[in-house]
Amino acid sequence: MIKSPRGTRDLLPPDTALWNFVEATVRDVFRAYNFHEIRTPIFESTELFARGVGEETDIVAKEMFTWEDRGRAESDRGQSLTLRPENTAGVVRAYIEHKLWDRGLNKLFYIGPQFRRERPQKGRYRQFYQIGAEVIGPAASGSESPARDAEILELLATLLDRVGITGWTLELNSVGCPADRARFNEALRAALEPVVAKMCADCQRRAVTNPLRVFDCKVPEDQSVIETLPRISQFLDEGCRTHFEQVKEILTAVGVPFTLNGRLVRGLDYYTRTAFEFTHGALGAQNAILGGGRYDGLSEALGGPAAPGIGFAIGEDRLVLSLAATADSVLRTPDVYIAPLGPGMNREAARLARELRRSNKDLVVELGDESFRLKKSFEAADKLKSRYILIVGENEVKADAFALKHLASGEQVSVPRAELAARIARH
Ligand code: AMP
């Protein structure tokens, strides 16, 4: 038997109803905040991620699905392509490529699959889905303002509330600007030097290549050392400190709770200032539902104009896992099951189904088959959890009125054709 590749999965009904509920809800939220959708390609040049995510990240160093194009055209051949491991780089590429600043398009959202070759476990897949948004634009458009950071975070709080996620925690930090981080890195190196030999192999490597990443370490024995290390908050310059204060003030004013987490860092040069994560207790080891932050230098790192930005990516798989709602509560079951009874009745049933679906686009109509005996039609309607069954036999066709039975109450009435749609729609 051929199975789906490791780390990928089929999303099946009824779960897909939950996914659609989540996506419809977040689309409503994005609309209310005046965000517009962008869809970028699922694969891009490898170079985009090397530059946009960073060569030293785990994602780029070990997790990308990369291949060399075997195209016939000389221009395609040998080009290195990669399935997108995240969507911010693609959005910023599109922003630059289409000069989106000229069109005033600076609030964009996306929903789609991402790919990383990670070790699969609950809440971690090789094909997973992200819902994300970016606010990006010239500084003159206000894209640098702490008001944008606070608005993004308030949007997220609203979005999680709307999809029905309770018990989330917003963890917040500021990673300052590149100059702050250079000083912080120096201090970290100095603090790590006498203790790093006792730490895990990964930390020993990080201490040399990118000391900031030591804060990602999950090894229990290393935590007591990490707790003693300096924090980036001690190294913020005046501008970054004020920016962060303002973000926190607005959040407090609008009533979005947060906790400060001095260990939350992003190690690349173009990540600046606000960094955040929303976590959820029910998720276990993979407890981050979403992450995001400012990337004021990213556009320039990708060869574009200065364009401060802030964004986030929600792990949709994890969002669905932490929903209190069940698939059954959002699944639409049929309003009516049409049961044709006897030869020649399929076409009568088809006519009725067409009329009902056309007269009320919200009705869910299921169609049986004339070869079924009445008992089998009832069983089928029950199994599908239909509200009504509609019987289409010769007598009904002649009378142009049909037996409509409410399955839960057992109540049965004869309803003229013209009144059927209204009768079924009424609950
Ligand atoms: P990142 O792009 O790494 O900041 O991730 C943003 C969010 O995407 C995380 O908080 C997770 O919820 C989700 N995510 C990242 N990697 C995976 C994965 N392999 N499987 C499922 N969700 C993921």
Q: What is the pLDDT of residue 286?
A: 74
Helices (H), 71-144: 88-97
Q: Are residues 262 and 343 in the same domain?
A: no
Nearest protein CA to atom 17 of ligand 1, as residue: 124
Pair 290, 341 in one domain: no
Q: Are residues 32 and 80 in the same domain?
A: yes
Mutate-to-test residue for ligand 1 from 49, 111, 114, highest number of ligand atoms within 8 A of CB: 114
In terms of domains, do 254 and 323 share one? yes
Q: What is the pTM of this model?
A: 0.91
Q: Which two three-digit tokens encode residue 245?
A: 């204060």
Residue 362 and residue 322 share a domain: no
Residue range of the domain that includes 364: 333-426
DSSP state for residue 387 in the 8-state scheme = S
Residue with the two structure tokens 């990673």: 175
Of 311, 327, 343, the last residue of a domain is 327
pLDDT of amino acid 146: 97
Q: pLDDT band at residue 216, thresholds of 50, 70 and 90?
A: confident
Token pair for 370? 């004339």
Residue 410 lies in a domain: yes
CATH of the domain at 372: 3.40.50.800
Confidence of residue 427 (pLDDT cuts 50, 70, 90): low
Residue 201 lies in a domain: no
For the chain, how long is the longest CA-to-CA vector?
A: 94
55 burial via Cβ count (<10 Å: 0-12, 13-18, 19+): exposed
Q: At what angle do helices 238-254 and 146-163 cross, to 10 degrees?
A: 40
279-330 residue pLDDT tens: 998 777 778 999 999 999 999 999 999 999 999 999 999 999 988 778 888 8
Centre of ligand 1 from the C-alpha of residue 369, in Å: 46
Does residue 347 lie within any of the structural domains? Answer: yes
On whether residue 184 sits in a domain, the answer given is no
Q: Which of 265, 300, 327 is the last residue of a domain?
A: 327
Amino acid at 205: R
Ramachandran class of 167: left when φ > 0, alpha when ψ lies in -120 to 50, beta otherwise = left
**Would 59 be classed as within a structural domain?**
yes
Q: CA of 63: how far to CAs of 49, 83, 120, 208, in Å?
A: 11, 10, 12, 21
Nearest atom (ligand 1) to Cα of 120: 19
Asked if residue 106 has pLDDT above 70, the reply is yes
138 lies in the same domain as 63: yes
Amino acid at 88: T
**Which residue's CA is minimally distant from atom 13 of ligand 1?**
315
The domain total for the chain is 2
Quick one: tokens of 300? 């320039």
Nearest CA to ligand 1 atom 16: 124
Q: Do 291 and 355 fall into the same domain?
A: no
Tokens of 72: 């016939």
Distances in Å between the alpha carbon of 105 and those of 151, 308, 312, 314, 334? 17, 14, 17, 21, 41
Please tell me the distance from the alpha carbon of residue 56 to that of residue 269, in angstroms, as a whole number: 11
Q: Whose CA is nearest to atom 21 of ligand 1?
A: 124
Q: Is the pLDDT confidence value at 10 over 80? A: yes
**Is residue 94 domain-shared with residue 28, that is, in the same domain?**
yes
% of the chain surpassing 90 pLDDT: 85
Q: Hey, which of 130, 216, 279, 314 would you mutate to test ligand 1's pocket, going by the most ligand atoms within 8 Å of its Cβ?
A: 130
Identify the residue whose C-alpha is closest to ligand 1 atom 3.
291
**Which strands sit side by side in the sheet containing 80-83, from one edge to the other?**
43-45, 80-83, 66-68
Lowest pLDDT segment from 39-43, 203-207, 266-270: 266-270
- Is 318 in the same domain as 344? no
The CATH number for 105's domain is 3.30.930.10
pLDDT of residue 294: 97
pLDDT at 426: 80
Same domain, 52 and 29: yes
Ligand 1 nearest-atom number relative to CA 125: 20
**What's at 362, amino acid-wise?**
D
Same domain, yes or no: 117 and 151 = yes
Instruction: Tell me the per-residue pLDDT of 386-424, one tens digit each, with 9 for 90 and over.
Output: 999 999 999 999 999 999 999 999 999 999 999 999 999
Task: Spell out which residues line ligand 1, taking CB within 6 angstroms.
Answer: 86, 116, 118, 123-125, 128, 130, 288-291, 313, 315, 317-318
* 127 Cα: distance to centroid of ligand 1 (angstroms): 10
Q: What is the pLDDT of residue 56?
A: 78
Q: What is the mean pLDDT of the chain?
A: 94
> What is the tens place of the pLDDT at every residue in 114-123?
999 999 998 9
Rounded distance, CA 112 to CA 24, Å? 14
Q: Can you give 312-350 as a three-state secondary structure string?
A: EEEEHHHHHHCCCCCHHHHCCCCCEEEEECCCCHHHHHH
Residue 274 and residue 407 in one domain: no
